[in-house]
Amino acid sequence: MQSRRKFLLSLATGLVGLTLYSPQAYSAELDTKPRIITEISKENTVNTLFDLSREYLGTSQETIAKARKTLVDICNNTSQALAKEKDSRDPRAFFLATARAVENTGIQYDEKNIAFTEGLAKKSTLKCDTLSFAYIAVGHELQVPVKGIRLPRHFAVRIGDLNFDPALAAGMKKPQIKSGALDAFATNEEYIELFKARAMRGLNKEDRLPLAISKTHLEENIYLSPLEPKQLISDYYMHIEGMTKIPKLKQKLLSMAIRSDGHNEQAIIRQSSLLLENAHLLEAINYLEDFTKRNSKYGESHYMLGRLYMLRVVSCESILSPKVLESLKDKSKFYIKRATELIPENIEYRETLKAILILDKD
């Protein structure tokens, strides 16, 4: 009995090489002479990001102006480098030129959360998502079709079917960037294998919930699918949410993220976590249950819902009837089993389900 309760508690807690590639050239061809950018165009999605920073983070116009200037410098340095290339439409050439331009500004990759506009203005550090936003903004100005792509706990960019990891590029040493020896390109298949390997290693200090990219993720366009502007804005709302400590503002920003992209599973999970942090367990369960009913193939939300039901069992074990407790346990098992079916590559899901089934026999 003691070991069973210990397991239930452990389940309920913890909630609070370069590939040879033959690139397809994109349709828009850059001029043989560098295109000089003097200001960011009004149609660029990055303007919306700056406006949101000003509205929700109180970012000053001076800081925004400096951030724009940094982007303009990156655009011009990238354009000048591409003008020297034999084929300026080569996606690899664009990514390498932009990586060098970013490096020349002094911007580096860092896991610490720093506001996108502040990081650009100070030419300091950006995370994987905000670095990617910068690449997308540069692509817009130079008429290069750069798209953002979501990955488990990560973000990258793409032109056509060539993926590029700006965070990895920003973490490389200067000589490697100059020589173009960046191991930051990856096909979808390579990303799938990479995240599968991480998931198979299980939990560790650096990654509390390692995730694999499953067939379902690809079919449902959850990961490795080019994002539309409204989806980028949804992710930016989440970025801002991570910058504030005001509970009501956090809830508002996550609601805006979900309004921009109702399929943004990470925003849904974060919203439920916020409800849980504020002692609204039943609301968090209802919130996730509603989402999983509308999105039956989203594995991570199913797994979290299963854990929330188990938390309900642990927290109400002394006041609920055995029949109700058994019903809650069945729901927990159902959602964790469903998560395992959706993402069979994830070792944590499988191990959790296995432990539950063993306890059921005791």
What is the secondary structure of 127-163 as a DSSP string?
Answer: -HHHHHHHHHHHHHHTT---EEEEETTEEEEEETTEE
Global pTM value: 0.85
Does residue 64 share a domain with residue 6?
no
Locate 306 and state its tokens.
Answer: 């299963």
Please indicate, yes or no, if residue 227 is contained in any of the structural domains: yes
Does residue 280 share a domain with residue 244?
no
Does residue 90 share a domain with residue 42?
yes
The pLDDT value given to residue 113:
80
Does residue 145 share a domain with residue 280?
no
Give the pLDDT band (50/70/90) at residue 7. very low
Please indicate, yes or no, if residue 169 is contained in any of the structural domains: yes
Last residue of a domain, one of 245, 262, 279: 262
Average pLDDT over residues 335-351: 89
Please indicate, yes or no, if residue 101 is contained in any of the structural domains: yes
The domain of 324 spans 2-15+263-361
The pLDDT value given to residue 171:
67
Does residue 149 share a domain with residue 49?
yes
Higher pLDDT among residues 13 and 261, named by residue: 261
Average pLDDT over residues 76-103: 88
Instruction: Give the CATH number of the domain where residue 291 resides.
Output: 1.25.40.10
Does residue 272 share a domain with residue 231?
no
Locate 223 and state its tokens.
Answer: 């990961």
Last residue of a domain, one of 204, 238, 262: 262
Please indicate, yes or no, if residue 196 is contained in any of the structural domains: no
CA 37 from chain centre, in angstroms, equals 30
